[in-house]
Amino acid sequence: MKKIVLATGNKNKIKEYQNLFSSLEYEFISSEDIGLSLDAVIEDGLNFKQNALIKARAIASQVSYPVIADDSGITINALYGFPGIFSHRFMEDYSYREKNSAIMHMLENCSNRRASFHCAIALVYANKEFVFEGVARGEITHREFGIDGFGYDPIFFSYQLNKTFAEASLNEKNTFSHRAKASKKLFEFLKKNKDII
């Protein structure tokens, strides 16, 4: 079985990828599993696509396997796209419950609560680079809903699901999430190019 390295230490992301790609004959291993860390990697890109490529290149330079890295985050219309590429680094030393509370507080007097989750997945192998992107549209709720998911999922109400990502099952999220949409494009690419990757 062919190996692909996921440039992440996030166990939730690995679980989602394994579920999404279960029908393909690839074994997904995390960069942490092979002793590689992204701690020293500086994500100084201007958008999700650039940051995904920065992470993928950093790991690809150290392994012979294809490498996948993603960068994702939430953009909020009333906050001019904030936190965007800083979604993970926003209030970095605080829990997501506290981050979610802060964002809801920022929108306290806003009628426009529209938001989008974005995901860019970079695939780097044999000096070739590809990026697959997905967007999920919705709005920020007034309080947290649901116990599943992670990060900003409890305050993101998905228009397609008619519930928050944290209220959705893994199968529902893997159909309509930003990562699912980008992953489907990657899935089709891997399926068509399985002989060379």
Task: Assess whether pLDDT exceeds 90 at residue 185.
Answer: yes
Whether 12 maps to a domain, the answer reads: yes
Place 150 in a pLDDT band, splitting at 50, 70 and 90.
confident
| The token pair that represents 143 in the structure block | 């309080």
DSSP class of 119 = E
User: Amino acid identity, residue 23?
Assistant: S
Give whole-number Cα distances, 187 to 20, 63, 112, 162, 194, in Å: 8, 22, 35, 26, 10
Whether 14 maps to a domain, the answer reads: yes
Alpha helix positions (H), the chain:
11-20, 48-60, 96-106, 170-176, 178-192
Alpha helix positions (H), 25-177:
48-60, 96-106, 170-176
DSSP class of 66 = -
> Which residues lie closer than 8 Å to 155 by C-beta, 6 or more apart?
100, 103, 104, 140, 141, 143, 144, 145, 164
Whether 141 maps to a domain, the answer reads: yes
What is residue 83's predicted lDDT score, i.e. its pLDDT?
Answer: 97
> What is the number of structural domains in the chain?
1
**Residues 132-146, mean pLDDT to the nearest whole number:** 97
DSSP class of 28 = E
Place 159 in a pLDDT band, splitting at 50, 70 and 90.
very high
Computed over every residue of the chain, the mean pLDDT equals 92
> pLDDT per residue over 108-126, tens digit each?
999 999 999 999 999 999 8
Distance (Å, whole) CA 142 – CA 21: 34
**Residues 71-100, mean pLDDT to the nearest whole number:** 95
Whether 22 maps to a domain, the answer reads: yes
DSSP class of 167 = G
What is residue 37's predicted lDDT score, i.e. its pLDDT?
Answer: 83
| The token pair that represents 135 in the structure block | 């967007």
Task: Assess whether pLDDT exceeds 80 at residue 15.
Answer: no
Whether 180 maps to a domain, the answer reads: yes
Whether 102 maps to a domain, the answer reads: yes
pTM of the model: 0.90
Whether 50 maps to a domain, the answer reads: yes
Least Cα distance to 196 among 141, 125, 105, 134 occurs for: 125
**Least confident among 10-14, 132-136, 142-146:** 10-14
**Least confident among 68-82, 99-113, 183-197:** 183-197
Q: Is 71 an annotated catalytic residue?
A: yes
Distance (Å, whole) CA 197 – CA 192: 10
Q: What proportion of the chain, given as a percentage, has pLDDT over 90?
A: 68
State whether the Cα torsion 11-12-13-18 is positive or negative: positive
Task: Assess whether pLDDT exceeds 80 at residue 107.
Answer: yes
Q: What is the CATH number of the domain that holds 23?
A: 3.90.950.10
Task: Assess whether pLDDT exceeds 90 at residue 173.
Answer: no
Q: Per the residue annotation, which of 39, 71, 148, 195 is the catalytic one?
A: 71
- Domain of 49 in residue numbering reads as 2-192
Whether 197 maps to a domain, the answer reads: no
Looking up tokens 């970079």 gives: 122
